[in-house]
Chain A
Amino acid sequence: MKTPFSDYLTSIAPSVKKIVNDLKSDHDYVSALCTDSKGLMVRIGHRSRTISNKTMTTERGVVFRVCRNKRYSEVALNTADWNDTDGVLAFVRAELAAQEKLLQETGTAIYETGVLDDEPFEFFGQKETGTLPEDADLEKLTAKLISLSDKGMEMGEDMIECIARVQSTHISKMFLTPARDLRQSYVYSEGILAAVVNKDGKVREDYKSISGIKGPELFEEMEGLLEDVVNGAEELLDAGPIKPGEYEIITSPEVTGLIAHEAFGHGVEMDMFVKGRALGAEYIGKRVASDNVTMHEGALCAEDVTSYFFDDEGVMAGDVTEIENGILRSGICDALAALRLGTSPTGNGKRENFAHKAYTRMTNTMFDSGQYSVEEMIASVEYGYLLEGMQSGMEDPKHWGIQCIIQKGREIKDGKLTGKVVAPVIMTGYVPDLLGNISMCSKDREVFGSGGCGKGHKEWVKVADGGPYLKTIGRLG
């Protein structure tokens, strides 16, 4: 079925439009992003269970953006009585005036920016979904998750916890300007199975996840993860540390996605170009990776948790070729950064929620596939590691440093997996070296959307990333 659009947003649209049009009388640009996203979260553990309607992206509110005298300001609120448009308008104007007064008193200089385009455009998009989180059969779902958790506990002798956590969010967003009316609705879901083991006081955890632009029907697929998760945690108990050094490595699609995200995801967010914070600005048209590397970014280049129709600034979703056969072609850009750089926005303006600022953010960040089988790739390694499972990553766009914390490495010797596992593994290095040494890519690729991404250490949004298995050289510790 088509995902229903929020009745609430439909009901407030006339009032919001009236306020937008009124603000336009003394501003050069006005828009309103209105959100009403409902969700479901169930977390089942052996010792603790919870259920909630809150997920990372549930929200309801409106943010008005205005531009006057080349300065952009925003007022976000969810306390409005939309039947009292005069009252809401008075509040918005009072907030804008109070902040303007402070800026004048402090003699604050303005980073002058042009006026955003407001050509007439109407759009109404509803993605297909199976069920809605609001309509999920919770009795059946919780019973299934409890059964999964119980089964997991019985599968390993060192198991102390098996957690099944699922969430599903029904997104509705409406973007209004005097000339535009864009509305969209879709559902995305994600599930994580985690196993925690404790042997002689040594505690280790492993997890597997699924995600997709689907309803709670996605959770039917979770049972297939259970055995791998429990076995994965158990083998971490016997894993030792890696001897620090540089190795031939093969990255699993999850680790590939982490590299994509940290290397040329954050590295080409073009609001960083405006601030002079990204080395990528100087490398457009230049080689940054081997010939084997092509990378895409955009809500249109995969179907996962962040595959929307339009972004939080009313720009339609895109598919940007960031790297083509090793050459850096383009970055991704929000609307205001695009104005400042004299380029076009790419549909990557995202907010944590309506109450937060829009920045350039990633959606789906993906390496393209190659021509090899995983077996051929492993057979080509003299001594190195197959890296699996991601914990976290961090980039340094100014210096192209990268830090990836990886769940485990499987030793490869003379083209064969030896069965030895090392954990945890920290991979560090210089991005062009890491990507420049990519010599093989596998035929298939996967996308992962169960994680979140911060800008620095805040502004958390949903992202997805992935790709094929990659063979390269990495510094591990």
Chain B
Amino acid sequence: MKTDTLIKLLKESGAFAWRITDTVTKGWEFYFIRHMLDQNRSKDIENIQITVFVLSEDGKSVGSATAEMGPDESEEYARLTIKDLIFQAGLVTDAYYELKGPGAEFAIEDEDIDINRISSDFIDMMKNIHEDDVTFMNSYEIFVSSIKRRIVTSTGIDVTEKYPVSLLETVVNAKDPSHEIEFYKLYDSGTCVKKDIGDDLSKTFACGRDRLDAEKTPSLDKADVVFSSEDAVRLYEFFKDGLDCAFIYMKYSPFEKGKEIADEVKGDRITLKALKNLPGSSQNRMTDDEGSPIYDEVLMKDNVPAAFHGGTKFSYYMGEKNTFIPGNYEVSGGTHSKEELLAGPVLECIFFSDFQVDTMSGDIFGEIRLAYLHEADGTVRPVTGGSVSGNLRELMKDMRMSTERSRYDNALIPSYTRLAGVTVTGAE
């Protein structure tokens, strides 16, 4: 099934509007146990998604229905699918909205993506990771893809982009005569960002050694907690999601433009900016998943929402015209040094089992796998077990951030984030 055939069928269908997303993925994968190849895989996948929009008879509501189809479907199948979609869309109508037009014109480079070379870079990098008798790679999995995506809409959008997406899954072990521990990490990126991943793995090895000697986390009741690893991204996603048109329209988020997001703020104030490009990110695109152009835009300045982001439907409902779904973002506003933020007493959490922030309620949770307890006298000791919990809507009132920043895939955030009054359940 050719996209141009689908376009022809959709134009003939009488649909109010339509969108086609045709994604071709060519990927290579390599799975390792220690440094021995467990399995190698290749994939060549095309996925075509069609969304049809219909207008109600009174012109006051719009419904949409979506179908995915493989590239080998016949023209007759596509014709019947579109007919079904028009019927289905009429059953699920929402308040009226319109698709966006093409926006500003821009040039898209037809980048040549060599998955063989990127795979080779990953394999070489991992073979040369410095290990020793205590810390070593247990296993890792390398995923490298070249993705070509074309988005066409009835409103004149027709953009084709080609981009690399890579993923490295690592399991680092550390052992001594009494026991062995592991740390699990995922690295999303465009191509192989050797230095960033190598540096982070070196830190993970050091953490592994400390985890071997870690004591049980004491019960601290309410304590100051510093987030100094990728888990801090979950904290900042709460703010990014709170600025999403869908969240605001659905009343899941109370954020309003021009009004500070919290009262009685004692700590730093957040500035959050969407970025079109962030070096090393897996999310560098010219357009979002609906074909809307992405650009740099300040979404929140000093805790005051300045602009909302989001997809077509909810942006229309919110009266936002030039919105997009951001891939990359950066957070600034920190005023503190690392030393100030790690001044004890404070619990610096490095690894959780699965740190989570419920972006609707603001609840945070995580079982501690490794943290450092910084005492007031400057002593530091590794601890493990127990958990942190609390609610970010309250905790953000006393949130302090470092001026130093770190990039985790598509997010450039403060390297150290300190929250006061977090509940710490001990493991003792």
Task: Using CB atoms and an 8 Å cutoff, list the residues of chain A in contact with chain B.
Answer: 42, 44, 47-54, 58, 60-61, 71-82, 91, 95-96, 98-99, 102-103, 105-111, 138-139, 142-143, 160-161, 196, 198, 201-205, 241, 244-245, 274-277, 336, 355, 357, 391-392, 394-396, 398-399, 401-403, 405, 424, 426, 428, 456-458, 475-477
Taking the nearest CB of chain B, how far is it from the CB of A189, in angstroms? Answer: 18
- Listed A/B pairs (7) with beta-carbon separation below 8 Å: A58-B68, A78-B46, A111-B32, A198-B251, A203-B252, A276-B173, A398-B173
Q: Give every chain B residue within 8 A of A428 (Cβ-Cβ).
A: 353, 367, 385-387, 425, 427
Structural contact, B367 and A403, CB atoms closer than 8 A: yes
Residues of B within 8 A of A143 (CB): 91
Contact A54 B66 (CB under 8 A): yes
Q: A457 to B186, Cβ gap below 8 A?
A: yes
| Number of interchain pairs (Cβ within 8 Å) | 238
Instruction: Give the contacting residue for B33; candidates A201, A274, A357; CB below 8 A.
Output: A274
Please tell me which stretch of B177-185, B274-282, B283-291, B335-343 contacts chain A, meaning at least 4 of its Cβ atoms lie within 8 angstroms of it.
B177-185
| Cβ A99 vs Cβ B389 within 8 A | no
User: Which among A76, A245, A396 is the interface contact of B369 at CB below 8 angstroms?
Assistant: A396
With contact pairs A196-B252, A276-B138, A396-B369 given, residues A73 and B123 touching in the complex (Cβ less than 8 Å): no
Give the contacts of B150-195 with A (CB-CB under 8 A).
167, 169, 171, 173, 179-182, 184, 186
Query: Could you tell me the distance between the alpha carbons of A107 and B52 in the complex, rounded to whole angstroms?
Result: 51
Chain A residues in 8 Å Cβ range of B184: 456-457
CA distance A73 to B251 in the complex (A): 49
| Contact of B72 with A81 in the complex, beta carbons under 8 Å | yes
Shortest CB-to-CB span from B156 to chain A, Å, is 24
Q: Judging by beta carbons under 8 Å apart, are A61 and B66 in contact?
A: no
| A78 near B93: Cβ-Cβ < 8 Å | no
* B356 within 8 Å of A (CB atoms): yes
Nearest residue in B to A397 (C-beta to C-beta)?
B182
Residue of B nearest to A160 (CB): B251
- How many B residues touch A, CB cutoff 8 Å? 87
Per the bound structure, the CA–CA distance linking A395 and B45 in Å amounts to 32
The answer to whether A424 and B363 have CB atoms under 8 Å apart is yes
**B206 interfacial by beta-carbon distance below 8 Å:** no
Segment of B5-13, B36-44, B264-272, B296-304 in the binding face:
B36-44
Given contacts A61-B45, A72-B39, contact A80 B387 (CB under 8 A): no
A244 to B124, CA, bound (A): 47
B119 touching A102, Cβ below 8 Å = yes
**Given contact pairs A106-B120, A399-B181, A79 touches B44 in the complex (Cβ within 8 A):** yes
Is B67 an interface residue, CB under 8 A from the partner? yes
Report if A79-B46 is in contact (Cβ < 8 Å); known contacts: A53-B67, A99-B40, A277-B138: yes
**CB–CB B41/A142 < 8 A:** no
Report the separation of the CA atoms of residues A77 and B91 in the bound assembly, to the nearest whole angstrom: 34
Residue positions of B touching A, CB distance < 8 A? 24, 28-33, 35-47, 49, 63-68, 70-72, 87-89, 91-95, 116, 119-120, 123-124, 127, 138-139, 167, 169, 171, 173, 179-182, 184, 186, 219, 221, 246, 249-252, 254, 313-314, 353-354, 356, 358, 360-361, 363, 365-367, 369, 385-387, 389, 393, 423-427
In the bound complex, residues from chain B placing their C-beta under 8 Å from that of A71 are 37, 39-40
The 4 closest A-B pairs by CB, nearest first: A477-B425, A394-B354, A244-B425, A403-B367
On whether the beta carbons of A78 and B367 are closer than 8 Å, the reply is no
State which of A47, A75, A160, A424 has its C-beta within 8 Å of the C-beta of B365: A424
Q: Please, which residue of chain B has its CB at the minimum distance from the CB of A52?
A: B66
CA distance A134 to B387 in the complex (A): 46
Which of chain B's residues have a CB closer than 8 A to the CB of A106?
120, 123-124, 127
Given the contacts A102-B116, A106-B123, A477-B389, A52 and B181 also touching, CB distance less than 8 Å? no
- Closest CB of chain B to A67's CB: distance in Å? 10
Query: Contact between B91 and A138 (Cβ–Cβ < 8 Å)?
Result: yes
Give A142's nearest chain B residue, CB to CB.
B91
Contact B36 A111 (CB under 8 A): yes
**Known contacts A54-B68, A110-B37, A392-B356; is A99 also within 8 Å of B92 by CB?**
no
**Considering only CB atoms, which chain B residue lies closest to A394 in the complex?**
B354
Residues of B within 8 A of A47 (CB): 94-95, 249-250
Establish whether residues B66 and A51, one from each chain, have CB atoms under 8 Å apart when the complex forms: yes
- Extra A-B contacts (11), CB below 8 Å, given A103-B37, A244-B221: A74-B41, A78-B45, A99-B42, A102-B119, A106-B120, A111-B38, A196-B360, A201-B393, A276-B138, A401-B367, A456-B169
Closest A residue to B143 using CB positions: A458
A48/B94 in contact, CB under 8 A? yes
Given contacts A78-B45, A102-B116, A477-B389, contact A111 B33 (CB under 8 A): yes
Q: Which residues of A contact B68 (CB under 8 A)?
A: 52-54, 58
* A75-B41 CB under 8 A given contacts A398-B180, A424-B365, A428-B385: yes
Chain B residues whose C-beta falls within 8 Å of the C-beta of A355 in the assembled complex? 43, 45
Whether the pair B29, A357 counts as a contact (CB closer than 8 A) is yes
A215 to chain B, nearest CB (A): 18
Instruction: State how many angstroms separate the Cβ of A291 from the closest Cβ of chain B.
Output: 26
In angstroms, Cα B173 to Cα A260, docked, is 25
Q: Which of A77, A111, A403 meets B45, CB within 8 Å?
A: A77
In the bound complex, residues from chain A placing their C-beta under 8 Å from that of B94 are 47-49
Q: Which residue of B lies closest to A44 (CB)?
A: B92
Tell me how far the C-beta of B375 lies from the nearest C-beta in chain A, rounded to whole angstroms: 21
Decide: B254 and A103 in contact? CB cutoff 8 A: no
In contact, A244 and B65 (Cβ under 8 angstroms): no
Chain B residue numbers with a CB within 8 Å of A48 are 94, 246, 250, 313-314
Give the residue of B63, B67, B361 whose beta carbon is less than 8 angstroms from that of A203: B361
Taking the nearest CB of chain B, how far is it from the CB of A312, in angstroms? 14
Most buried by A among B91, B139, B221, B313: B91
Task: List residues of chain B with CB within 8 A of the CB of A201.
Answer: 254, 393
Decide if A161 touches B254 in the complex (CB within 8 Å): no
Residue pair B70, A78 in contact (C-beta under 8 Å): yes
Partner of A76 from the list B42, B88, B92, B427 (CB cut-off 8 Å) is B42
Assess A357 versus B31: contact at CB under 8 Å? Given A111-B36, A201-B254.
Answer: yes
A49-B63, A49-B92, A241-B389 as given contacts; A405 in contact with B37, CB under 8 Å:
no
Partner among A53, A76, A102, A204 whose Cβ is within 8 Å of the Cβ of B43: A76
B63's nearest neighbour on chain A, judged by CB, is A49
Bound-complex Cα distance A68 to B287 (A): 43
